[in-house]
Chains A and B, each alone.
Chain A
Amino acid sequence: KAGVTQTPRYLIKTRGQQVTLSCSPISGHRSVSWYQQTPGQGLQFLFEYFSETQRNKGNFPGRFSGRQFSNSRSEMNVSTLELGDSALYLCASSPHSGGSTDTQYFGPGTRLTVL
């Protein structure tokens, strides 16, 4: 099976712009989670989607949003970019319902740089 894919791999934007990142989960996986990774804050949970519904959300401002499509592919959007949004954004999928025992399989990430 193909792994989790994320596009694009690298992105450079300027402050005030918006950006959309895409994630394709492993075939058959229905739960998709997003994380932000920065040197200062480490890995932080953004949100999780299952069957097109956001079930959980981390402590991020409303500028961060996401959605999931019927084929389980997911997108996240960041509006009005700030310098502090520069980070590696990781997507992960899991095979079941996103429960506590499920393993999450990560994609390679999208490196976002905000200038």
Chain B
Amino acid sequence: GNSVTQMEGPVTLSEEAFLTINCTYTATGYPSLFWYVQYPGEGLQLLLKATKADDKGSNKGFEATYRKETTSFHLEKGSVQVSDSAVYFCALSASAGGTSYGKLTFGQGTILTVHP
């Protein structure tokens, strides 16, 4: 079946440090890939997405490139801020149809803490 593996957390960084959160996936066909962020006490917010190989998603300084050859979708940010402290989830949506409708498969989440 489909699966998503994220790097172990938690991750603790100082403000303005470079961030990488690794994400690899297993899926048949051509999935779409997503990064969601969850702040304390809230639901998930879409951070960025990519729907085909070599697509780069970007938002609020975060970037991720859909690499089909390495089945990866690593999240990066050049300079993190305290306000980026949250839980980050990598997710995939498999090719449409059958058991794929409306289903996101999530990684386990990575807790990011940024200190001033």
Contacts and interface: CB of A to CB of B under 8 A. Distances in A.
A88 B45 CA distance: 15
Contact of A108 (B30, B43, B102, B105): B43
A103 B46 contact: yes
Given A106-B44, A106-B45, A55 B102 contact: yes
A100 B31 contact: yes
Interface string B66-99: 0000000000000000000000010101111011
B113 interface: no
B20 interface: no
A33 B43 contact: no
Nearest to A103: B46
A58 B106 CA distance: 13
B104 A108 contact: no
A105 B51 CA distance: 16
Interface in B33-47: 34, 36, 41-46
Nearest to A53: B101
A42 interface: yes
A47 B78 CA distance: 37
A104 B107 CA distance: 16
A102 B46 CA distance: 11
Given A43-B106, A100-B93, A104-B46, 9 more contacts: A35-B104, A43-B89, A45-B104, A48-B102, A48-B103, A55-B102, A56-B99, A94-B102, A99-B96
Interface of B: 30-32, 34, 36, 41-46, 49, 51, 89, 91, 93-96, 98-109
